[in-house]
């Protein structure tokens, strides 16, 4: 059986807005921030991988597919041409597969320009040629049909309940992690818990995604294979040899008023506990990215990142690739960061598996997109939920545990972090 070959054509269009209402309500593919990005419809093929080599295996399969593809890209912006939406499992032994999904249709907006990409399986050598002109100096497929936006629907109402990691168990796990940190076993581990509910409305996912995009415009709003969320943390972005990332670690809730809010941000910036946790996460990212870069710069000092429901300590990393690595190569190198795993990495991951006691699936794993050249944008799947085919919705939130973490405070922080996804499902 011959290997699949893809035919890809991207053309400029006048407008693709609104993007989210044009997505498939049952299987949305979305990657947006501040109203710009890409959405996908349909599925030409998917690449699935599991185990410790899941990113490498998916990257190799993707590269082989991209090399065989016949691409005509008349726009040339990030997200045009051949692209796949992806979501990877957090843990090496996860039972949830990692996926790269190639859609049939991609609608995109960036820098004031809009485009449509059609992707199909090639049927023969005739796919090598550009479509013929319609006699008016314009190719017949230059103005492809764009799906009409669906009517706005109400946000579904999902009643969430604690998962296997109850609030009481979570506080106990935090206390045990602190005990082991104080005993010198490791420096930091990120512990998460889940909330579980049931989705009954057929069209609920589109309304949920739209709610996230409206309420959290400065995050990466994503939907890939049932994984839906709004992440503030850029794992890695690669664009024509330039690489960037944003590290978040250290959190506090917003103040009730303007003065209180400023005080909370200042207290976070001055917090020895939060700055120590943040420094571990930055050091982890730099250590993993530096071998692939000719230059890598970081923010001189952490800064406070304001979101509607909380403050984060943040550091930006920017540099130039030195070894031609693709975005998936860097995903493999940096995942899991200390911001979602811990330090030292191997010990922290073992502690997470033991104390959490559940499969994270794709929570805290890489989510994003990759193009045929290997460029792409990837975030860490945070403030998210996995929607299974049977309608089960599992939301996740976690906190970095260090030596002076207080169990009740960490539990309260998870409540804050659950807020975006719980409210997006009408909770």
Pair 6, 65: CB distance under 8 Å: yes
CA torsion 380-395-47-145 (nearest 10°) is: -90
Angle between helices 345-356 and 167-182 (to 10 degrees): 150
Pair 302, 281: CB distance under 8 Å: no
* Beta carbons within 10 angstroms of residue 334's beta carbon: 24
- Rounded Cα gap, residues 244 and 359, in angstroms: 29
Phi/psi for 419 (5° steps) reads -50, -50
Pair 249, 278: CB distance under 8 Å: yes
Q: Which residues are catalytic?
A: 188, 233
- Rounded Cα gap, residues 231 and 420, in angstroms: 10
List CB contacts of 104: < 8 A, sequence separation 6 or more.
Answer: 40, 41, 42, 43, 44, 118, 119, 120
Residue 27: strand, helix, or coil:
coil
Q: Nearest-5° angle of CA 326, CA 330, CA 335?
A: 150
List CB contacts of 53: < 8 A, sequence separation 6 or more.
Answer: none
Angle between helices 204-215 and 407-424 (to 10 degrees): 120
- Rounded Cα gap, residues 7 and 69, in angstroms: 6
With b meaning 16 or more CB within 10 Å and e meaning fewer, what string describes 229-254? bbbbbbbbbbeeeebbbbbbbbbbbb
User: DSSP letter at 126?
Assistant: G
Which residue from 85, 367, 384 is spatially nearest to 212, judged by alpha carbons? Answer: 384
């Amino acid at each position: 059986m011959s290997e699949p070959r893809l035919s890809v054509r991207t053309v400029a269009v006048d407008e693709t807005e609104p993007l989210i209402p044009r997505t498939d309500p049952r299987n949305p593919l979305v990657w947006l921030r501040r109203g710009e990005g890409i959405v996908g419809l349909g599925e030409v093929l998917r690449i699935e991988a599991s185990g410790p080599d899941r990113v490498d295996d998916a990257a190799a399969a993707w590269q082989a597919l991209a090399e065989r593809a016949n691409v005509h890209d008349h726009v040339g912006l990030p997200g045009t041409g051949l692209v796949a939406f992806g979501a990877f499992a957090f843990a090496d032994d996860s039972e949830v597969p990692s996926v790269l999904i190639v859609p049939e249709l991609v609608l995109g907006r960036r820098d004031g320009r809009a485009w449509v990409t059609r992707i199909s399986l090639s049927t023969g050598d005739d796919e090598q040629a550009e479509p013929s002109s319609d006699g008016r100096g314009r190719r017949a497929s230059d103005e492809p049909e764009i799906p009409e936006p669906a009517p706005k629907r109400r946000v579904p109402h999902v009643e969430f309940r604690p998962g296997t990691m109850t609030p009481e168990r979570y506080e106990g796990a935090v206390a045990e992690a602190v005990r082991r940190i104080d005993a010198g076993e490791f420096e930091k581990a990120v512990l998460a818990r889940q909330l579980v509910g049931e989705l009954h409305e057929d069209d609920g996912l589109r309304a949920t995604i739209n709610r996230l995009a409206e309420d959290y415009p400065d995050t990466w709003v994503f939907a890939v294979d049932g994984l839906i969320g709004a992440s503030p943390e850029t794992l890695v972005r690669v664009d024509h040899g330039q690489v960037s990332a944003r590290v978040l670690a250290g959190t506090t809730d917003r103040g009730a008023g303007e003065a209180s809010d400023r005080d909370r941000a200042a207290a976070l910036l001055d917090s020895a506990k939060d700055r120590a946790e943040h420094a571990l996460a930055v050091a982890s990212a730099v250590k993993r990215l530096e071998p692939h870069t000719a230059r890598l710069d970081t923010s001189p000092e952490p800064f406070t990142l304001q979101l509607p429901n909380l403050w984060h300590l943040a550091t930006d990393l920017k540099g130039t690739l030195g070894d031609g690595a693709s975005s998936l190569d860097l995903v493999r190198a940096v995942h899991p960061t200390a911001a979602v795993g811990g330090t030292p990495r191997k010990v922290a991951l073992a502690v997470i598996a033991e104390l959490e006691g559940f499969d994270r699936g794709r929570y805290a794993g890489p989510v994003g997109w990759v193009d045929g050249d290997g460029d792409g944008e990837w975030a860490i799947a945070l403030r998210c939920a996995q929607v299974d085919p049977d309608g089960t919705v599992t939301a996740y939130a976690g906190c970095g545990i260090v030596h002076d973490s207080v169990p009740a405070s960490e539990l309260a922080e998870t409540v804050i972090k659950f807020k975006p996804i719980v409210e997006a499902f009408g909770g």
